[in-house]
Amino acid sequence: MRRVGAVVTAGRRGGDRLFWGVVGVSAVLVVVTLVASRFVAEPPRLPEGARALPRMRPAPTSTGELLRSLGVGSLIWYACFVSAPLFVWLGRRVPFDRRRWPASLAVHLATVALLALLTAWLQYRLSYGGSPLAPPIGEYLRVGLITGTLPFLTVAAAAHALEARARAHERELEAARVRGQLAESRLASLTAQLQPHFLFNTLQGISTLISRDPPAADAMLASLSDLLREVLRRGDTREVELEEELRVLEPYLDISRRRFGERLSVRVAVDAAAERALVPFFVLQPLVENALHHGIGSHAGAGRLEIAGRREGGRLFLSVTDDGPGTAVPDAGRGIGLANTKARLQELYGDAQSLELGRPADGGFRVTVVLPYRVREAAAR
């Protein structure tokens, strides 16, 4: 749940950073424009009584003329920069969606028109004041509305593009949060289903020894207690090192040795390079239980169980092999143990894992799990 809260907080902080980032950039641009306006060239003066004919202006011949042709220092530049945070705020409060887009469009166009008129009026007051040569205010505002609409529309479009990108990022975070919650719930459900399953099977095995071999049944209960203590102590741990997984598995192997007696021999062969690899917690127990039930327990003779682990490049191979009759293949995917193991591996690693069932060349049955080879960060350093 703390991870979920962190995702939501990150989404909210991202929106706040966008707004205040636009405010900061606008302030910097205002200052830059103010400084650059000091270098703007004066417009050419016409002789008295001359009239300027509309024609294509020549290319600027100096930096000052270039700045003046771009409008640097004019009031519309300052107005656009200062209004940028307003359009970001409007994009949040009145967003364009399928149901309300006509009303949103009307609000934004009205805001653009109001800002263009306000800027034209302010420019009129600053340029002419009470001069008798001032043009009619109505005509000036009409021209200002036409010329000022495009710059404000450009700023509004840029602000909405930034806000849309921020909303898309928040939706991705929300989708990731939901997927994480579903995956965690599914893993918890699978684990909760798996642990009672092995517990009931183990208690059933212990019950068969109580009447005919009480000391062995008592030792099995002690090993079961150790195993349950290890399982409960780790709580919702997802992954452990393979070395630790084997240590947790040892009480269950003790239970199995006492249950089958001299009929069972167990061999563990794990490479040193594989001992530090991370594996799902409690992943070996259902594989061993499946081998004991379908392999060793399905016939009266002696049986051998082998647990192996090795690293090959970026992959970790885990296998549990028995020398039983090898009849578990048709039914292996139907039980709770292997079915839950498949589901857990899929939830944790997606397509980067595999669980393969097969018969070795010399008989028996083998379950092989292939995982991406990973170690804890501290161990990697």
Tell me the sheet residues that pair with 318: 309, 369
Q: Are residues 93 and 236 in the same domain?
A: no
188 found inside a domain? no
Question: Burial letters for 342-358: b for 16+ Cβ neighbours within 10 Å, e otherwise?
Answer: bbbbbbbeeeebebeee
Tell me the sheet residues that pair with 303: 264
315 found inside a domain? yes
pLDDT of residue 274: 95
Q: Are residues 152 and 220 in the same domain?
A: no
Q: How many angstroms separate the CA atoms of 169 and 167, rounded?
A: 5
The domain boundary, picked from 154, 176, 198, lies at 176
pLDDT level of residue 194 (50, 70, 90 thresholds):
very low
When pLDDT is averaged across residues 204-217 and rounded to a whole number, the result is 78
Q: Are residues 230 and 161 in the same domain?
A: no
What is the Cα 168 distance to its own chain's centre? Answer: 13
Tell me the sheet residues that pair with 312: 315
pLDDT level of residue 242 (50, 70, 90 thresholds):
very high
Q: Is residue 73 within 8 Å of 33, Cβ to Cβ?
A: yes
Q: Are residues 233 and 169 in the same domain?
A: no
242 found inside a domain? yes
The domain boundary, picked from 150, 176, 202, lies at 176
pLDDT of residue 370: 96
Give the range of the structural domain holding residue 299, as residue numbers without chain letter: 213-380
pLDDT of residue 277: 96
193 found inside a domain? no
Q: Are residues 346 and 236 in the same domain?
A: yes
pLDDT level of residue 267 (50, 70, 90 thresholds):
very high
When pLDDT is averaged across residues 57-64 and rounded to a whole number, the result is 61
199-208, 255-264, 279-288, 361-370: the lowest-pLDDT one: 199-208
The domain boundary, picked from 129, 151, 176, lies at 176
Tell me the sheet residues that pair with 240: 279
276 found inside a domain? yes
Q: Are residues 112 and 240 in the same domain?
A: no
When pLDDT is averaged across residues 335-353 and rounded to a whole number, the result is 82
Classify residue 324 by its DSSP letter: S
Angle between helices 75-93 and 2-36 (to 10 degrees): 160
Average pLDDT for the chain: 76
Query: Residue 371: which residues within 8 A CB-CB, separation 6 or more?
Result: 277, 279, 315, 316, 318, 345, 349, 352, 353
Amino acid at site 145: L
Q: Are residues 21 and 158 in the same domain?
A: yes
Q: What confidence tens digit (pLDDT) does each residue in 272-327 have? A: 999 999 998 888 988 998 888 887 776 767 889 999 999 999 999 999 999 887 65
Q: How many angstroms separate the CA atoms of 187 and 190, rounded?
A: 5
Q: Are residues 238 and 129 in the same domain?
A: no
CATH, residue 217: 3.30.565.10
Query: Residue 255: which residues within 8 A CB-CB, separation 6 or more?
Result: 202, 205, 206, 220, 223, 224, 227
Structural domain count, the chain: 2
Q: Are residues 311 and 163 in the same domain?
A: no
Q: How many angstroms separate the CA atoms of 22 and 17, rounded?
A: 8
166 found inside a domain? yes
pLDDT of residue 334: 45
Q: How many angstroms separate the CA atoms of 332 and 337, rounded?
A: 9
pTM value is 0.52
134-148, 185-199, 331-345: the lowest-pLDDT one: 185-199
Q: Are residues 237 and 154 in the same domain?
A: no
Q: Strand, helix or coil at 357? A: strand
Q: How many angstroms separate the CA atoms of 194 and 346, rounded?
A: 16
186 found inside a domain? no
